[in-house]
A and B are shown apart, each in its own frame.
Chain A
Amino acid sequence: MEQILANGVYLGSQYAMIALGLTLIFALMNVLNFAHGQMYVIGGFVTYTFYGQWGVPFVLALVMSCVTLAILGALIERYLFAPVIKGSAREESTMLLAAGIAFLLDALILIIFGEKQRGVPKIVDGVFNYDFRLIMPYDRILICILAILSIVAFIGLMQYTKTGRALRALAQDRTAAQLMGVNVDRYSMIGFALGAMLAGLVGGLLVTITGVNLGMGGPTSIKAFMMVMIGGAGVISGAIWGGIILGFMEAIGLAVLSQYGDITYLLIFISLMIFLAIRPQGLMGKPWG
Chain B
Amino acid sequence: MGFSIQQLVAVGVFLLAIFVGVPLLINATGRWDFYFTLTSVALLAIASAGVWLTFYIGRINIGQGAFALIGAYVSAILVVKSGLSFWISLPAAGLFAGLIAVLIGLPILRLRGVYFAMITLVLTQVVTLTALALPITNGAKGISNIPLPSGVSIFGIPLIPDFGAMENTKLAFYLTACILMVVTYAALYRLVNSRLGHLCRSMQQNEELASSIGVNIAYIRVVIFAISSFFGGIGGAMFGSIAQSVYPSTFVVADSVNFMLNCFLGGLGYVFGPILGTLVLYFGWDLLFELGKYQMLVYSMILIAVIRFLPNGLLSIRFGKGNNK
A53 interface hit (Cβ, 8 Å): no
Instruction: Count B interface residues, CB 8 Å.
Output: 48
Are A108's CB and B121's CB within 8 A?
Answer: no
- Min distance, Cβ B60 to any Cβ of chain A, angstroms: 6
Give chain B interface residues in 268-289, CB to chain A under 8 Å.
Answer: 268
Are A233's CB and B114's CB within 8 A?
Answer: yes
A128 interface hit (Cβ, 8 Å): no
Residues in chain B near residue A281, CB distance under 8 A: 115
Are A92's CB and B60's CB within 8 A?
Answer: yes
CA distance A90 to B208 in the complex (A): 19
A179 interface hit (Cβ, 8 Å): no
Are B300's CB and A111's CB within 8 A?
Answer: no
Q: Which of B108, B112, B264, B312 contacts A273 (CB 8 A)?
A: B108
Are B297's CB and A108's CB within 8 A?
Answer: yes
Are A32's CB and B118's CB within 8 A?
Answer: yes
Are A277's CB and B108's CB within 8 A?
Answer: yes
Instruction: Count A interface residues, CB 8 Å.
Output: 50
A126 interface hit (Cβ, 8 Å): no
CA distance A261 to B134 in the complex (A): 11
Are A83's CB and B296's CB within 8 A?
Answer: no
CA distance A229 to B115 in the complex (A): 7
Residues in chain A near residue B303, CB distance under 8 A: 96, 100, 103-104
CA distance A107 to B292 in the complex (A): 11
Identify the A interface with B (CB < 8 A): 26, 30, 32, 34, 80, 83-84, 87-90, 92-93, 95-97, 99-101, 103-104, 106-108, 110-111, 218, 222, 225-226, 228-229, 233, 261-263, 265-266, 269-270, 272-274, 276-277, 280-282, 288-289
Identify the B interface with A (CB < 8 A): 55, 60, 104, 107-108, 110-115, 117-119, 121-123, 125-126, 129-130, 132-133, 207-208, 253-254, 257, 260-261, 264-265, 268, 293-294, 296-297, 299-301, 303-304, 307-308, 311-312, 321-322
> Can you list 25 A-B pairs with a CB-CB distance of less than 8 A?
A30-B114, A84-B308, A89-B312, A92-B264, A95-B117, A95-B264, A96-B261, A96-B265, A100-B300, A100-B304, A100-B307, A101-B304, A104-B297, A104-B301, A104-B303, A218-B254, A222-B122, A233-B114, A233-B115, A261-B133, A262-B132, A266-B129, A269-B129, A273-B104, A280-B112
